[in-house]
Structure 1
Amino acid sequence: MAASSTQIEQLIAPVVVDMGFEFWGLEYQTQSGSTLLRIFIESEDGISVDHCAEVSRQLSLMLDVEDPIQGVYRLEVSSPGMARPFFTLDQYRRHIGFMVKVKLRFGFDGRKQFKGLLTGIENDELLIQEGEDEYCLPFEAIEKGSMIPQFD
């Protein structure tokens, strides 16, 4: 049986942290028989290609031993980048004052997608301002979210 993304995260996160990086999150996708495991790492000093290669080598060794993914898969390691995806409430909290976009699991106010300024977080709800309107979106309702890069 294939492991869940939570089980894979429990294997991967300690390795990344032990190497001196922050484990930002992972995407685990299977499409048309092809499996992709994308790992995001972060550091206060930034992430280089060499960092990604080093983490990829260590994770490959561990994944070969633990074998949580059935069949062939592709492993990618990268920084979250400028349009960084968000995986935790704390990651949103660290980006208050930035433009974000979120996709909800279910409709809210007749919509599933919101783009705007993240003005705060209260009671595990994101406060997103779109023009004159402000929306309170429960974190648990968010399917996917990311930062919108601003080039001023």
Structure 2
Amino acid sequence: MASVQERLEQMLEPVIASLGYELLLLEYSPSPKNAMLRLYIDAAAGITLDDCERVSKEVAGVLDVEDPIRSAYRLEVSSPGLDRPLVKPAHFQRFIGQQARVQLMAPLNGRRRFIGAIVGADEDVVRIETEEGVAEIPLAEIDRARLVPDYDQE
């Protein structure tokens, strides 16, 4: 049986795609009093506040009808920001050459955290160049990954 988060992703990803956006990441934090549903969306032209509002209204309508969250919840729709999440292989491939921070579910070669330049990615493995060399990280082992913003970039 699928988790609530998986059901939400399956339900909302096509709705968001039909509006012309990509669902980058869905974060669901259950709570008996005030659950949180946070959606990170993206588009080729970037994301504006109007885009977030448009997606929020559409998603709220779907959630009201389908009622997958039985308790009170707060819905947030956000752009990915400078420290955007990296979830799918295509996300890593798009940002080859940029710095990323990767946290694993379990240690790999004694480490759970890697920071370095993305040097490659395929369907199963992400390659991060760290000070110690290139780490080949199985995508399935990644708990969280985000870009490291370069504030000096013009």
Fold shared per TM-score above 0.5: yes
Q: Percent identity?
A: 36
**SS of match in other structure, 2:97:** coil
- Aligned letter for 2:144? K
User: Match of 1:8?
Assistant: 8
Matches within 5 A, 1:2-151: 4-30=4-30, 33-122=33-122, 124-151=124-151
1:19 shift after superposition: 1.0
1:127 shift after superposition: 1.0
1:131 shift after superposition: 2.1
CA contact under 8 A between 1:37 and 1:75: conserved in structure 2?
yes
Q: Which runs of 5+ in 2 are unaligned?
A: none
- What does the per-residue CA deviation read over 1:104-136, in whole Å, with 9 as the maximum and x for residues that have no partner? 010111111111011112562111111242111
Aligned length: 151
1:34 shift after superposition: 3.0
Higher strand proportion: 1
- Aligned letter for 1:112? R
- In 2, the alpha carbon distance for the partners of 1:124 and 1:137 equals 8
Give the structure-1-normalised TM-score. 0.92
Give the structure-2-normalised TM-score. 0.91
- In 2, the alpha carbon distance for the partners of 1:7 and 1:31 equals 17
- Runs of 4+ aligned residues of structure 1 deviating over 6 Å after TM superposition are none
